[in-house]
Amino acid sequence: MLRRGLALLAVLAFALPAAASTGRSAKFAWRISPIGAAQKRVMTGVSWHSGCPVGLSELRDVRVSYIGFDRRRHLGQIIVNGSVAKSVVSVFRKLYSARYPIRRMVPVDVYGGSDFNSIEHDNTSSFNCRNATGSSNWSNHAYGLAIDLNPLENPYVSGGRTSHGGSVRYLDRSKHYKGMIHPGDFVVRAFESIGWGWGGYWSGSVRDLQHFSANGR
């Protein structure tokens, strides 16, 4: 499934719809496109299905430059709600300028729509038509209004524990390993600049350190 997903992604990289907003500044490149026919086929029955709270026409395929853990420039793909696409680009522009490292950025369809598998590969992503963790309500991801950033370095923590072995070393938030997010840092401020809240500020025994969303939940 992963190999098939990566192959599909490689094809789609050369099959963007013609009607798109694009830009380039100081080597930061971006592109906002409607969800094209090929992308629709990949998403349908995987990250999107009939009954989801938003239609595919309400989503946008966003491509942005990012700095990888290898310190090199890469092009990432993320699916977000069309209403926030330009704001999301502005955030990634700031992260790029600050050379904040991102491990990987591809749609969750590459991982069969599995949030768990996407996290296991330390993948930064947004849209996925699913319920919120531990809830029967739609997640903000189901609207394309949330982004999970470097999820292994910034785990979902419940009762001081994580479900991902690769995140254990990052439970100690006094550390400053590459890709980690901390209260008040430039990553949090970048998202705050577009009005988004951080799951690291949640009260109680649950903190979602990877999670940024339009409504803070």
Percent of the chain at pLDDT > 70 equals 88
Q: What is the mean pLDDT of residues 29-57?
A: 97
* Separation of first and last alpha carbons in the chain: 31
| Residues sharing a CB contact under 8 Å with residue 154, sequence separation 6 or more, in sequence order | 170, 179, 180, 181, 200, 209, 210
pLDDT tens digit sequence for 144-197: 999 999 999 999 999 999 999 999 999 999 999 999 999 999 999 999 999 999
Q: What share of the chain is helix, strand, coil (3-state, %, to 5)?
A: 30, 25, 45
Residue of 7 and 79 predicted with greater confidence: 79
Q: How confident is the model over 47-60, as a mean pLDDT?
A: 97
Report the pLDDT value the prediction gives residue 4, as an integer from 0 to 100. Answer: 47
Of residues 34, 15, 45, the one with CA closest to residue 112 = 45
What average pLDDT does the segment 4-22 reach?
A: 47
Q: What is the pLDDT of residue 19?
A: 47
Is 14 in a helix, a strand, or coil? coil
Q: DSSP secondary structure string, 90-144?
A: HHHHHHHHTT-B-SB---GGGGTT-HHHHHHTTB-B-----BPTT-SSBPGGGGT
Q: Regarding beta strands 73-81 and 156-158, do their DSSP bridges make them parallel or antiparallel, or are they unpaired?
A: unpaired
Give strand ranges (E) for 142-216: 146-148, 156-158, 197-198, 206-208, 211-213
Tell whether the model's pLDDT for residue 18 goes beyond 50.
no
pLDDT at 10 over 70: no
Which segment, 132-136, 198-202, 203-207, is predicted with the most confidence on average? 198-202
Task: Give this prediction's pTM.
Answer: 0.89
Residue 25 confidence (pLDDT): 59
167: DSSP letter: G
